[in-house]
Structure 1
Amino acid sequence: MANVTFSSPVMPRDITVYAVAGDRGNLLALAKSHHIPIPFDCQDGECGSCLVDVEHLANSVRCGIALTEKEKELLKQMGKITKAEIMDAEVNDMPPRHRLACQCFVRDEDIFVTFEGDLTLPVKGPALSIAAAVYRGGVQVKTLDDFLGYAVQVEEDAALHYEHLSAAMADCGNADVAALFADLGRYSRLHLEEAKAKCSRKDITVRLPAGSAWPDNATPEKTTLWAGDPALSRLGALKAALQGERRGYEFYYAVAGTTKDPEIREVAREFVREEAEHVDTLKQWIAQEEHALS
């Protein structure tokens, strides 16, 4: 048995899986079977998209492996293998630190695998509700400053909401969830500053009309989550956050899709892209969390 720990900036936490040496083949196959998002394309050692960094954790001598000429040549082209590592691979059959996940087979040793993640693919927006696609609700956006004013309130309310939840979770001793909400609050603060910077109007305080399309006259990214539940799990927190982020996304999408002002449309689309990234990331985190719990 071997412990294989995967770590990446695109994952919310490190994930350790157990593997029988040679049972699941290469690292890429092992990662795919556990929903670890290592990028890949050809899966045959020719494209380099599944590049990983492998750290051998045991103090004993590493397990030897024959490095194929195809993998060695591609690592050389990518500048990911040194002359000393080439010599060690050719003479002693010792693997280099950088590997291609599709060519690296699991051995009877614990390893720590890190990868950057695929940052080149275009962001895919989440599924939209019918309401977002045909939005004509109570919030009427007539000027760019009107839109930015609403964006400021959306992001400010989201930041305050997440910060409140973070403090409540910390008071309950739920440090993991508290840290998650603190991060989401910081993201909302960044969006808030972006909206303020784009707005030419000094007074950007917005009061929502009583007939607002937003439920309970609350901005979209607020969730129905109660803050004081000490038993709130990380999965529950992620799902609550996804609910708010999805509603925020749909609001920006609706504005971008219905406004007749090209300037408003362009700025709204910027917010759409950012919110889509958050929604996509949260969905990925939830899938990994559910898999870990199962």
Structure 2
Amino acid sequence: MANVTFSSPVMPRDITVYAVAGSRVTLLSLAKSHKIPIPCDCQDGECGSCIVEVKNYTKNTRDGVTLTNKEREVLLQLGKITKEELKDMACHDLPPRHRLACQCLVRNEDILVTFEGDTTLPVKGPALSLAAAIYKGGVEMDSLDKFLSFSVKVEEDSAQHYEELSANMAECGNTDVAKLFKQLGEYSRLHLAEAMAKCERFDATVEVPASSAWPDNASPEMAKQWAGDASMTRLDALKVALQGERRGYEFYYSVANTAADKQIRAVAKEFEREEAEHVETLKLWIEKEEAAIRATAR
């Protein structure tokens, strides 16, 4: 069993995945199966687009040293193998720092794989629920202050709810989940401050109307099942938080795509991007938590 940690500036968090040594899976295949965005064009060791830096957690390991002829030639052409590394490969069987992800096989070793990523790709937002996809607007956002008043309400409700859950979890002795909700509450407080800073005068009495895409006339980031359950695991908490963040994202998405005023649409789009980042961060946290649970079960 090998632990492979992927790290990149284009990823919100590092992701550690597990692979069976000897299965002859490449780093690129492993990354693609976990939706990790290593750039790749030819996927056959000829273009060099999937170059990564590999660091072994066990020093001077002999695993993973074998380079294919294609990989060796491309790395030499790109200047990614030093003379010292060539000497170490020949004399000590030590692997070079840089590898091609499509050629490097996963071995029985724990490694850190870093890559730059393709920063030219457009950011893709989270998938929308059916309601949000067909939503045509239940409130006419005819002024920026009106939209920001709704934003303040959304983020204030979210922050208060996270903080209440954090307190409930702490009282139940579930400190791990309490800490998680406290952190999420701080994120909402930051977004709340941002909305208030942009607003000249906000209305603290606004409510998301029943004609919106969300049921029960509730603020988008409020969810019924967020009860203070002492048995709630960290994974449960993350999934609940993800649902709330998705609904927050959908709220801003709807305004960004239905408001008539260009300034309102621009600010809503900015908030939409931030909520999308929260959603993607939570999804990565969930993946890491599920991976940790699988490892413990093994």
Alignment of 1:25-174 (within 5 A): 25-33=25-33, 35=34, 37-42=36-41, 43-45=43-45, 46-49=47-50, 51-57=52-58, 61-63=61-63, 65-68=65-68, 70-72=70-72, 74-75=74-75, 81-107=81-107, 109-115=108-114, 118=117, 120=119, 121-125=121-125, 126-131=127-132, 133-137=134-138, 139-174=139-174
User: Structure 1 residues 155, 210: closer, same or farther in 2, change over 3 A?
Assistant: closer
User: Structure 1 residues 236, 117: closer, same or farther in 2, change over 3 A?
Assistant: farther
RMSD of Structure 2 on Structure 1 (CA): 3.2
Displacement of 1:132: 5.4
Moved more, 206-215 or 248-257: 206-215
Match of 2:180 in 1: 180
For 2:179 and 2:167, locate their aligned partners in 1 and report how far apart those are by CA, in whole Å: 9
Could you report, residue by residue, the CA deviation over 1:192-215 in whole angstroms, capped at 9, with x for unpaired residues? 2322232233xx242125955464
User: Structure 1 residues 285, 44: closer, same or farther in 2, change over 3 A?
Assistant: farther
User: Structure 1 residues 106, 221: closer, same or farther in 2, change over 3 A?
Assistant: same
Q: In 1, are the aligned partners of 2:169 and 2:178 still within 8 Å (CA)?
A: yes
The residue type paired with residue 109 of structure 2 is D
Q: In 2, are the aligned partners of 1:52 and 1:101 still within 8 Å (CA)?
A: no
Match of 1:235 in 2: 235
Partner SS state of residue 230, structure 1: coil
Q: In 2, are the aligned partners of 1:66 and 1:94 still within 8 Å (CA)?
A: no
Q: In 2, are the aligned partners of 1:28 and 1:38 still within 8 Å (CA)?
A: no
Match of 2:205 in 1: 207
Q: In 2, are the aligned partners of 1:145 and 1:200 still within 8 Å (CA)?
A: yes
Partner SS state of residue 51, structure 1: strand
TM-score by length of 1: 0.80
Q: In 1, are the aligned partners of 2:128 and 2:250 still within 8 Å (CA)?
A: no
Partner SS state of residue 17, structure 1: strand
User: Structure 1 residues 47, 173: closer, same or farther in 2, change over 3 A?
Assistant: farther
User: Structure 1 residues 78, 169: closer, same or farther in 2, change over 3 A?
Assistant: farther
Displacement of 1:144: 0.6
User: Structure 1 residues 157, 47: closer, same or farther in 2, change over 3 A?
Assistant: farther
User: Structure 1 residues 94, 193: closer, same or farther in 2, change over 3 A?
Assistant: same
User: Structure 1 residues 101, 175: closer, same or farther in 2, change over 3 A?
Assistant: farther
For 1:70 and 1:24, locate their aligned partners in 2 and report how far apart those are by CA, in whole Å: 17
Q: In 2, are the aligned partners of 1:24 and 1:30 still within 8 Å (CA)?
A: no
Partner SS state of residue 226, structure 2: coil
Displacement of 1:268: 1.0
For 2:275 and 2:64, locate their aligned partners in 1 and report how far apart those are by CA, in whole Å: 46
Q: In 1, are the aligned partners of 2:28 and 2:102 still within 8 Å (CA)?
A: yes
User: Structure 1 residues 286, 16: closer, same or farther in 2, change over 3 A?
Assistant: closer
Match of 2:198 in 1: 198
- Number of residue pairs matched by the alignment: 286
Partner SS state of residue 241, structure 1: helix
Q: In 1, are the aligned partners of 2:157 and 2:221 still within 8 Å (CA)?
A: yes
Stretches of structure 1 that go unaligned for 5 or more consecutive residues are none
Displacement of 1:221: 1.0
Partner SS state of residue 197, structure 1: helix
Identity %: 51
Could you report, residue by residue, the CA deviation over 1:145-195 in whole angstroms, capped at 9, with x for unpaired residues? 111121122112212222222333333343443343233223222322322
Partner SS state of residue 237, structure 1: helix
Moved more, 244-253 or 214-223: 214-223
